[in-house]
């Protein structure tokens, strides 16, 4: 007998199935995801948790006419498989292959590109209002996780949506609580009842009658809230203007289909609360959803084997520095916006729990929270990804830098991050940071420099950023000075070709290899701000050509700072960095080659420039 999954090439095929076969399809789909991700790597636990929900959504709603907006999008592998991309899953997150997140360029079923959290309700509301203005019957569903609901933007959207008459359904995928069998069955029954047309019609009829007697309608409203509130945590969402249903078991496909089918028929803002389990169906992922959140290749029967690397990652260097510094300074406070593991704060959170704060997916709050701590004499260190700090740019400027507050930013995932793609590449930080008054910006090129710069940033009284890439930190130190000084660069290779290469950050070792071929001078610049203007001026006076290299966008980045420092001087300057486009996903080696930031690409660019 052929597998059911092999017969599903579009959601239309899925909707032609008998509902009683959907549970078996879910089993096959879950097995396929485990086998596929074990070969490509990717997000596993989150995808295993949403298999039944994805099937039910496509079974009930007429996609792509009806639109599904996935928040973050790291749980959409089942969605990709059911929408015609099953045979391409072996290319997932690879260069030229499927993206790890929804992409409008990839499929008509991906109606909104995502990868950062808490955007789904806003986008879905825009689509729902568009349908209303066009007098279309299409429905829009936003699927958002309980973690993403911690961000202010989600509540801004809820507040706005509840005042409109648009047909929007928000599905809260709650995977941080469990439902016992009895409570789950009761809530599933209530959800079907309360989402049905009979309850909805009765409610509207009652409102019509009681409107003539205001005290009675208020009493009825309170009575209804009281009865519903005894068995379900929906009062908050009701206050936003949504009709709240749930919580229901997100792995009970019959309950999901029945409830979604009822909700599809209702008008106005609807809210469905489903409870799922991350890693569902694969015991190792159920037992350790954090370990199995983002995985590399692994053997499903054996599970993930934790491997130790000889070289420390930049993240590990930061984590060790943080713990070492906390031993000697009780003012140090460690902050993360829901990225404890990714940002290297596990050890700190265990050793200094009273000084560790995970504020949830709330980057804006994280920055201003740090600012508040700084006003009271503490020394906050905010560990945050480059692309996540983009979400708190106003707070960075307004709440920290204008007031010149003493906050240290450990900026992880700078430059090209690989398979997560354009939504996560730290391409813009040097450009968007160096233009802010009072900010100090440092770019280490190896493990020792990272440690030293973190110390410098922490000792500096004011906003200071140390930005470093994902992956291993080189342990090959090419510097000659024993310690770093603020704003001071160093010549690490002397050449006599008339070409000087000024490098900012982790491409230093690649630049040295290129300089060996060209007999060029190499300067490890280290600081984007304050820029070592004295060194730039000196190099300009005794070299005919200057090349700047950085792993951020060339437009407005560190190379631009060098050009500004030179002003009208005669030195010719070539700025090498990321191009003026959004770089795709794939392995870092392929991406560096595509951007001509590998050894061969840098050599060719410099060679062509010198020969002109």
CA atoms within 13 A on the CB side of 187: 26
Q: For residues 592 and 529, give the distance between their C-alpha atoms in angstroms, rounded to a whole number.
A: 25
**Does the annotation count 363 as an active-site position?**
yes
Token pair, residue 192, equals 């079907």
Segments of 14-150 assigned E as strands = 42-43, 67-70, 140-145
Q: For residues 43 and 293, give the distance between their C-alpha atoms in angstroms, rounded to a whole number.
A: 5
Token pair, residue 23, equals 């549970």
Residue indicated by tokens 């995801």: 33
Minimal CA–CA distance to 101: which of 92, 90, 91, 114? 114
Give the single-character DSSP code of 535. Answer: H
Catalytic option among 80, 93, 278, 280: 278
Catalytic option among 391, 470, 526, 575: 391
Angle at 474 between CA 320 and CA 589, to 5 degrees: 120
**Does the annotation count 265 as an active-site position?**
no
Beta-carbon count within 10 A of 202 CB? 11
Angstrom distances, CA of residue 266 to CA of 138, 173, 420, 435: 12, 20, 37, 50
Whether 145 contacts 173, CB under 8 Å: yes
Helix (H) / strand (E) containing 503: strand 499-504
Whether 316 contacts 447, CB under 8 Å: no
Whether 146 contacts 173, CB under 8 Å: yes
Q: For residues 598 and 588, give the distance between their C-alpha atoms in angstroms, rounded to a whole number.
A: 10
Catalytic option among 363, 379, 413, 575: 363
Give the residue numbers marked as catalytic. Answer: 278, 363, 391
């Amino acid at each position: 007998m052929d597998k059911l999954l092999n017969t599903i090439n579009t959601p239309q095929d899925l909707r032609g199935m008998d509902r009683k076969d959907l549970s078996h399809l879910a089993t096959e789909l879950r097995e396929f995801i485990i086998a596929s991700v074990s070969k490509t790597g990717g997000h596993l636990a989150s995808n295993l948790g949403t298999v039944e929900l994805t099937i039910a959504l496509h079974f009930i709603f007429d996609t792509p006419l009806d639109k599904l907006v996935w928040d973050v999008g790291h749980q959409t592998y089942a969605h990709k498989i059911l929408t015609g991309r099953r045979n391409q899953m072996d290319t997932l997150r690879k260069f030229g292959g499927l993206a790890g997140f929804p992409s409008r360029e990839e499929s008509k079923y991906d109606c909104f590109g995502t990868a950062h959290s808490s955007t789904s309700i806003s986008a879905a509301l825009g689509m729902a209002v568009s349908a209303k203005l066009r007098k279309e019957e299409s429905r829009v569903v936003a699927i958002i996780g309980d973690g993403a609901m911690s961000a202010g933007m989600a509540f801004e959207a809820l507040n706005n949506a509840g005042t409109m008459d648009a047909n929007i359904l928000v599905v809260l995928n709650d995977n941080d609580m469990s439902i016992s069998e009895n409570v789950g069955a009761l809530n599933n029954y209530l959800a079907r009842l309360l989402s049905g047309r009979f309850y909805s019609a009765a409610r509207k009829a009652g409102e019509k009658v009681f409107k003539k007697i205001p005290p009675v309608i208020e009493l009825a409203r309170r009575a209804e809230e009281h009865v519903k509130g005894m068995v379900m945590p929906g009062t908050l969402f009701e206050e936003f203007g949504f009709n709240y249903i749930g919580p229901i078991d997100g792995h009970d496909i019959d309950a999901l289909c029945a409830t979604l089918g009822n909700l599809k028929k209702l008008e106005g803002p609807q809210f469905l609360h489903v409870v799922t389990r991350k890693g569902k169906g694969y015991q190792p992922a159920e037992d350790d959803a954090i370990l199995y959140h983002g995985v590399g290749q692994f053997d499903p029967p054996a599970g993930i084997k934790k491997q130790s690397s000889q070289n420390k990652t930049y993240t590990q260097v930061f984590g060790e520095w943080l713990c070492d510094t906390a031993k000697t300074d009780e003012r140090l406070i460690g902050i993360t916006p829901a990225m404890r593991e990714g940002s290297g704060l596990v050890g700190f959170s265990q050793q200094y729990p009273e000084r560790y704060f995970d504020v949830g997916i709330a980057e804006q709050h994280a920055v201003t929270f740090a600012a508040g701590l700084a006003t009271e004499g503490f020394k906050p260190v905010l560990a945050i990804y480059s692309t996540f700090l983009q979400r708190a740019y106003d707070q960075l400027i307004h709440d920290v830098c204008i007031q010149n507050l003493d906050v240290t930013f450990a900026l992880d995932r700078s430059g090209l991050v690989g398979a997560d793609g354009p939504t996560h590449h730290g391409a813009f930080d040097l450009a968007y940071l160096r233009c802010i008054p009072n900010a100090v910006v440092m770019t280490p090129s190896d493990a020792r420099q990272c440690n030293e710069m973190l110390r410098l940033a922490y000792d500096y009284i004011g906003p200071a950023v140390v930005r470093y890439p994902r992956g291993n930190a080189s342990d090959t130190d090419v510097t000659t000075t024993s310690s770093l000084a603020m704003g001071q660069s160093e010549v690490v290779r002397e050449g006599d070709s008339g070409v000087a290469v000024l490098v900012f950050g982790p491409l230093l070792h690649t630049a040295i290899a290129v300089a060996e071929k060209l007999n060029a001078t190499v300067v490890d610049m280290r600081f984007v701000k304050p820029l070592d203007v004295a060194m730039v001026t000196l190099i300009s006076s005794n070299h005919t050509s200057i090349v700047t290299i950085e792993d951020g966008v060339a437009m407005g980045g560190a190379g631009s700072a060098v050009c500004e420092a030179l002003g009208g001087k005669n030195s010719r300057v070539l700025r090498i960095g990321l191009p003026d486009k959004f770089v795709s996903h794939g392995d870092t080696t392929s991406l560096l080659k595509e951007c001509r930031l590998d050894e061969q690409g840098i050599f060719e660019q410099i060679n062509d420039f010198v020969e002109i």
